[in-house]
Structure 1
C-alpha cells in the first residue's frame, strides 16, 4: 500500500523539522505530536520512513545490528565483522495501544517452551524497532508503565528483560514518535518531560492552504502512482540532505558560548532538572548540521528551544501549552555571540535567520511540493500568560464566609430571595489544592488506572484461575500439566504435553480508572453566600485528582428551572476545567432535576462501558427551591437513588452559624458519603480530625 509522500504535506513545517532533527540525532529522545483530529499527524509520521537513507544490517540478525560495529552482546551474536551484510529501508514499527509488556519488550517463546522444552527468547517490538522508528498513535491512551518502558529504552539505547528465568539485553536505539489528541486526555508531566521534542499542530485557517491540502489529497487518492512520481524528486533530495546531515552532526562544534546560552535559556524558563539543557544541545547541533553549518549558532539554539521547552515549562495540568517567544529572545540576546575567528569585523558575523539566503535545495514552490521542513526557526503557538493565580486557602476562605454569615439572622439565611431567571453571574476560580482521596469501596474489573482497587492487566499477581481471561501464568500452567504426564503416557524426551485444560491465567490486583461525574449546584442559594468561587476551586481540585488518576470525567450543573450536561464524560479533564470556569450561577435550586440528569448520564455510560464503574460527586448545600414541593421531590429522588448502584459523595457547601443540614439529609437518603466542603482538601481533613486526637504526655501516656 502506497504511503502519502512526506514532502507533499502542506502547512506542517514545525512537525517536519522536529521529525527530521530526531532522525539526524536519535539521541534527542523522540517527538511528541499533539493536535486535534484530522491534522495529518499519522500521515506525516508514516511518510517519514520513505525519505530516510537505507541502513546496512547483519544478515539474519533479528536485532538489526550494524555490520560495521556489531553489538558485542547481541543475543544473535557474536557477529563476524566479515560476515554477510544486507541493506534495507528503515523500519516503521507501530505499537498498538492494547499491546502488553511481553509484546513490547519480548518474552519467553511459549510455544517452544511447552512444545520442545527449550527456553528461547522471543524478541518484541523494541527489538524490531532498533535503528528505526517506533510509532505510538494515541500515546496518551497507552498504559503509563508501557510509556515508561518505551521512554527508558529510548533514553538508554537498550532493553533488558528479566523474567521467566531469562536475562536478555539487546540494543534498542530508535526514534520514538507519539501522537495524541489532547481532547482524549493528557500525559502526566513526568512522561511529557521524557519526550525530547514536542510539537502542537492545528489545521490552518488560511483558505488557500486548506484548498491545497484537499487538492493534493484528492490527487493522491485518484492516482497514487502518478502522485508519488510527481514528488519523487523532492523525496530524493530530502533523503540526500538528511544523509549529509547525519554524517556532519558528529563534527558540529558546540562552543562554550552556546552552552552558556542554552543554560541561561533553561534557567530563565524555570524548567526542572537538566534534561532540557541536554536535549537543546543535541537538537541545536542537529539543526546546525541540517543547515550545513559546522558550529551551533543563535538560530539553532532558538529553534531547539522552541521545540524542547514548550512542554517542559512549569505550568498546571490545565494550563495551555506554549512558549513566551519574547522572553526567549531576551534570554538569547543577553550575551552576544562571539566574533568569528580571524577578525572582529561586524560584517563578518554569522547571519541571523532573517539574513540567511536559502540554498537551492531549500527553495520552495508554494503551488508545488517542498523539499521538506524549513531550516528557519519554527513558530510555536502564541505566548500564554504564565502568571500564577492568587493563592487561596479553602479553609481560610470558608472561615471568612462563616464570619460574614454569622451577622445574618436565621430568617435571612433560610429565606433568601430566589430568581427563576437564567443565571447571570460567574464566579472566579481559585488556585487548586490537594484533595483527599476518594475511591470506590468494592473491587472492580475496569481499565487500569490509579483510583479504585480492581482486577486489571497490570499490578500484583495474587493468584491463578482456570478461565481464559488475562495473561497466561506459565509456572502454574506447567505445574498443572506436569502432574498429568503419567496419565498421558508421555514418552521420555518428547517434551511436556500440554492441553487446553492445563492453562492457568494470572489474577492480577491493581487499580482501575473510574468515571467521576460531578453534579454541581450553580443556583442562587450558593451564590448568595459568596461561596461559588470556593465551590469551583474545590471541584477544580477534584478534577486535578481525576486527571492524575486517569479517570473519565463529566460535569452536570443545575440552576434555574432545570439541569444540563455541560461536559459529556470524557478523558479530557482540561476541558472540564475550562468549562467550569465559565459556568454561571444564580436562580432557583432544582436539586431533583440535577439528580435525574445525572442518573440519565450514568445509565447511558453504563451501556457504553459496563466495566467502568462510576463515582458521583454531588456538590450542593441541599436547599431545593425550584417550585412547590421542591425539597420533597429532591428527597423522593434521593430515596430511590440506591437502585442505580452508584457510589456517591455529597460535598456539603452549607456554611455559617445557622445551618439546615439538608445536604446531610440528602446524603443519608442516598446512602452516600457526606463530606463538608472544608474537608475536601487533604489539609482540611487533617485539621478536622486533629482536635479529636487524645493529647499525650512525654512518657507516652494519655494526659
Structure 2
C-alpha cells in the first residue's frame, strides 16, 4: 500500500486544512466542499487526513462497522451480543463519479427476497464509510440523484434501501468531503447548502512557497516512506490534538453572546433557512475545542462565518461565492458582548505545523472574467454605429438585459444520455413504461411482469405451498422513462447587424436566460460566435454555465456576418463532442437575424452549411433577432434549412402569448 503524503507536510492551504480538522473534531459540522483550480493539493490533503483520525473499535465480523459499546439495534448483521471489539484504522472510501446507485447504497437480492423471503443485502460504499471518511472527487460531476442520496445519508446518519416492499436500514455516519473545479460546472444551490463548510483554494503566487511545494513533492516521490518518517512527530502531535479536542468538545459552552452574533451574521447576509446558523454554531464550538478552550469567542464566530457562509450566498450560478469581511466585522462588533473570558486577541496558537483557529484569509470570491475586446474586422457599411474614436465597426461589449424564464426547448425522440431535465430519455429513474429481461444485475424489478413470467410454470416446478417459485429467467427489469440532459450549443451572431446597443443587450439577455435554463436542466453548454470574416469557439462544451455567461458578457460586436463560418464551426464542435460523449444528444441554438454577408457567395454557402445539420438530424432552433417594422424573414428561412424551428425574442418567453411548450422540430426523428 502506498504511503500517503503527510497532512502536516502540505504547504499553505490553511483554510483547507483547518476545515478538514474541524470536521475530524466534530463530524456534526456537516462535511467540507473544496472548490478550486486543478493542482492545488485538494485530493492530497483529503487523503492525508485519514491517517490522522483515531482508530475505531468495531464488532468483529460486522460489515457495517458497529461500535461494540453502542451497537446499532437495526444493523442487518445484528443483533450483536455483548463482547469485546476489534480496533482498526478509520477508513477513507472514495466514491467514483461514474458509480451506480447500487454501488453507493448497496443492493438487495430481489430473487432471494421473492423466492425465500430473506433480506439478502450487499452493502455499498455508504456502509464502508461508516465512522470514517467518504470522499467524492469532482462532486459537481456526480449525478444529481446520487448527490441527493449521499447528502440525505450524511444528514440523517443512516442509509435506507427500499425495493418492491423490501427495505433495509443501516447506520451511515461519516465525514463527507467533496472536491470540485468550478470551471467544470457548479453544484445546485440546494446541494451547496447541504455541505457544512466550503473552502476556496488556489495555488500560491509566492515564489518561495511554490519552491517549497515542489521540493517536498519531489522528496516524497523519491522515497515516500522516508519522507513520511520525517513528519511522523508532527503527525502524532496533530492526531493527539484531535483526540483531545474530541474529548473537550462536550464541555465547550456556546454562550448567549456568541449565539446572538451567529444569528445576526446569518440575518445580515440574508442566507436562506436555519442550516447556516446551526452549522456556524457547531463550527464555532469545534474551533474552541481545537484551540483547547471551553468558551466560544468572537474570533471563533468570525472564522466559522468565513467557512460556513460564502457558498450560501449564491442565488444563481452566475453569483460568485464570497463574503464581505468588512461587513462581517461590523456585524460582529455591533452584536458584540462575548460572555466568555478574555483571551489573547491574536487567537489560539496552532500546533504541530497546523493552521491556527483563524486562518489568514477567508474564502475569496471570484469576479466575472472579462477579456478585453480584441480588434475586429472593419464594419459593414450601415450595419453598426461606431463608438467615439473607434476606427472600425467593432463596438465595445454591451451588458445583458434582465434574464427571464424561457420556454422549454427539447430534442425530439427518446435518448439514453445522462440524467437531466430537458428531453425524454430511457433512464434508471422515472415513470415505468414497460418491462424487459435484465441484461446484467437486476436493479429495478417489474413485479407484475415477473409474476406473469413465473405463473405458467408453477405446476412444472412442483409448487406445493403458497409461495411463488421464481427462477432467474422469470425476473423482469422495469423500463423507465425520465429526462436527460443535452449539449446546448449556442451559435451567436456578433456582427454589425446585431450591434445596436439596445438590441444586443436584449439578445444577450435572451442567451443568459437560456443559460440559466440549461443550468437548471443540468445540460452541458458551448458557445460559438461569428463576426467579421471568421467564427470562434468562445467556449468548448462544458458544464460551467457561468463560464459561458462570462464569455458572453465580454463579447464585442461589429463587422460582416459570416453565417456559414459560424454554422461550420458549430458542426465541427459537435463532431468532436460526439466522439467524446456519444450518448449526449445536441441541441443547436442559433441566435441571429439570418443575414449572411461574409465570405464568397455567403447566402449559398450558408444554405449548404445549414443542410448538413438537417441531413444528420441534429435538433436546432433559431432565435430570430430581426427587429423593425419591415422584416425579411431570413431567420425563418434559415430554420427551415436547418430542419428546426424558429422563435422570436418575444416568443422565447415562457409567459408570452405565443403558445405552450415548443419542442424543436427536426426533419429526422430519432427512433423511440
Q: TM-score, normalised by structure 1?
A: 0.86
1:375 maps onto 2:357 in alignment? yes
Q: Partner of 2:266: helix, strand, or coil?
A: helix
Matches within 5 A, 1:288-687: 288-338=288-338, 349-352=342-345, 354=346, 356=347, 358=349, 362-363=350-351, 370-382=352-364, 416=383, 423-466=394-437, 468=439, 471-474=442-445, 475=447, 476=449, 480=453, 483=456, 498=471, 504-528=476-500, 530-627=502-599, 629-683=601-655, 685-686=656-657
Match of 2:270 in 1: 270
Deviations 1:464-518 (A, max 9, x none): 223627854444567646755766789999996845x555433121111101000
Worse-superposed segment, 69-78 or 125-134 = 69-78
> Quick check: 1:472–1:504 contact (8 Å CA) kept in 2?
no
> Quick check: 2:528–2:537 contact (8 Å CA) kept in 1?
yes
Shift of 1:422: 7.2
CA distance in 2 between counterparts of 1:417 and 1:299 reads 56
Shift of 1:159: 2.0
Structure 1 or 2, whichever has the larger Rg, is 1
Shift of 1:240: 0.3
Match of 1:392 in 2: none
**C-alpha distance 175-572 of structure 1, shift in aligned 2 (>3 A):** same
Match of 2:78 in 1: 77
Shift of 1:636: 3.7
1:178 maps onto 2:178 in alignment? yes
Shift of 1:459: 2.1
CA distance in 2 between counterparts of 1:140 and 1:502 reads 39
Shift of 1:434: 1.5
Q: Partner of 2:177: helix, strand, or coil?
A: strand
Deviations 1:378-403 (A, max 9, x none): 512445689xxxxxxxxxxxxxxxxx
CA distance in 2 between counterparts of 1:689 and 1:184 reads 35
Deviations 1:270-303 (A, max 9, x none): 1000000000000000000000011100111111
Matches within 5 A, 1:138-287: 138-287=138-287
**C-alpha distance 69-560 of structure 1, shift in aligned 2 (>3 A):** same
**C-alpha distance 589-530 of structure 1, shift in aligned 2 (>3 A):** farther
Q: Partner of 1:312: helix, strand, or coil?
A: helix
> Quick check: 1:108–1:164 contact (8 Å CA) kept in 2?
no
CA distance in 2 between counterparts of 1:622 and 1:83 reads 79
CA distance in 2 between counterparts of 1:56 and 1:444 reads 48
Q: Partner of 2:73: helix, strand, or coil?
A: coil
**C-alpha distance 43-382 of structure 1, shift in aligned 2 (>3 A):** closer
Give unmatched runs, 5+ long, in structure 1: 342-348, 364-369, 387-412, 691-703
**C-alpha distance 483-233 of structure 1, shift in aligned 2 (>3 A):** farther
Q: Partner of 1:7: helix, strand, or coil?
A: helix
Q: Partner of 2:312: helix, strand, or coil?
A: coil
CA distance in 1 between counterparts of 2:577 and 2:356 reads 46
CA distance in 1 between counterparts of 2:613 and 2:392 reads 29
Worse-superposed segment, 285-294 or 654-663 = 654-663
CA distance in 2 between counterparts of 1:10 and 1:615 reads 45
The alignment of Structure 1 onto Structure 2 pairs a total of residues equal to 642
Shift of 1:646: 0.7
Q: Partner of 2:51: helix, strand, or coil?
A: helix
Match of 2:125 in 1: 125
> Quick check: 1:465–1:504 contact (8 Å CA) kept in 2?
yes
CA distance in 1 between counterparts of 2:385 and 2:314 reads 43
CA distance in 2 between counterparts of 1:116 and 1:223 reads 54
Give the superposed CA RMSD: 2.8
Shift of 1:608: 2.1
**C-alpha distance 241-639 of structure 1, shift in aligned 2 (>3 A):** closer
Shift of 1:46: 1.1
CA distance in 2 between counterparts of 1:225 and 1:529 reads 64
Shift of 1:54: 1.0
Shift of 1:144: 0.9
Shift of 1:154: 1.0
Match of 1:34 in 2: 35
> Quick check: 1:421–1:560 contact (8 Å CA) kept in 2?
no
Deviations 1:46-96 (A, max 9, x none): 11110111122222222222222222333333333x412111111112112
Match of 1:402 in 2: none
CA distance in 1 between counterparts of 2:274 and 2:561 reads 52
> Quick check: 2:490–2:528 contact (8 Å CA) kept in 1?
yes
Q: Partner of 2:149: helix, strand, or coil?
A: helix
> Quick check: 2:383–2:499 contact (8 Å CA) kept in 1?
no
Shift of 1:548: 1.2
Deviations 1:624-663 (A, max 9, x none): 2225632333234334531121111100001111221111
CA distance in 2 between counterparts of 1:524 and 1:257 reads 61
Shift of 1:682: 1.6
> Quick check: 2:433–2:479 contact (8 Å CA) kept in 1?
yes
Deviations 1:101-124 (A, max 9, x none): 222222313585589774323322
> Quick check: 2:196–2:308 contact (8 Å CA) kept in 1?
yes
Shift of 1:612: 0.8
Matches within 5 A, 1:50-65: 50-65=51-66
Q: Partner of 1:584: helix, strand, or coil?
A: coil
Matches within 5 A, 1:97-112: 97-109=97-109
